[in-house]
Amino acid sequence: DVKVTQSSRYLVKRTGEKVFLECVQDMDHENMFWYRQDPGLGLRLIYFSYDVKMKEKGDIPEGYSVSREKKERFSLILESASTNQTSMYLCASRTGWGNTEAFFGQGTRLTVV
Amino acid sequence: GNSVTQMEGPVTLSEEAFLTINCTYTATGYPSLFWYVQYPGEGLQLLLKATKADDKGSNKGFEATYRKETTSFHLEKGSVQVSDSAVYFCALSYNQGGKLIFGQGTELSVKP
């Protein structure tokens, strides 16, 4: 059974903290993605990676960075957390492009206070 | 740019009612189109997909047809169940270097 695992379901952090969200997939997929999900806005792409150490900005990369040192792991970093980064964060992976299925983790609900 | 627009929710139906959730897209060329579903407390999972014009994707009683002429991919089900209550997302992707672009999501609530 394929699996994308996010390290935390719920996280509470203080404004200004550096926050790490971890995602691991066991399917040997080349491509991994970080989205944030907000009511009425759907899923917005923050960053994606198409290979180890390769990354591209999505639609809302400001305030975020990513790291992909190993194929199975893709980390999202909030350099200095702010209250407007309170959201649900979803990680996904897939092989290839186009018509291939993306597999999602269960999400991390991050609250910044 | 490329985008996906869904009908606003929430949509509330009685069990066994007919469901339509509208989805239209703006894109150049020929993207692949998807419907994903998110059940409460879970991540998204693929419901169905279509990869070229006039293709029909189907799964679990749900269907959607890729209409190039109207740039649409509406989701339909003939008889919904309480267990279909979830948020439904329409999405598109390209074959070369394509991001997966999602619509806003439509929440469906089915009452017994």
What pLDDT sits at residue B108?
97
CB contact under 8 A, A99 and B93: yes
What pLDDT sits at residue B8?
83
Q: What is the mean pLDDT of residues B100-105?
A: 91
DSSP assignment of A35-90, as one string?
EEEETTTEEEEEEEEEETTEEEE-S--TTEEEEEEETTEEEEEESS--GGG-EEEE
> Which residues of chain A are within 8 Å of residue B104 when distances are taken between CB atoms?
40-42
Helix, strand, coil percentages (3-state) for chain B, rounded to 5, are: 5, 50, 45
Tokens of A3: 């699996």
b/e per residue A36-50 (b: at least 16 CB within 10 A): bbeeeebbbbbbbbe
B1 pLDDT more than 80 = no
pLDDT confidence tier of residue B97, bands split at 50, 70 and 90 = low
pLDDT confidence tier of residue B27, bands split at 50, 70 and 90 = confident
Tokens of B4: 């996906």
Q: Report cis status (omega within 30 of 0) of the bond before B10.
A: yes
pLDDT confidence tier of residue A67, bands split at 50, 70 and 90 = very high
| A96 vs B80: which has the higher pLDDT | B80
CB contact under 8 A, A48 and B99: yes
B98 pLDDT more than 70 = no
Q: Which of A43, A45, A59, A89 to mutate to test the interface with B (most CBs of B within 10 A)?
A: A43
How near does any CA of chain A get to the CA of B41, in Å?
7
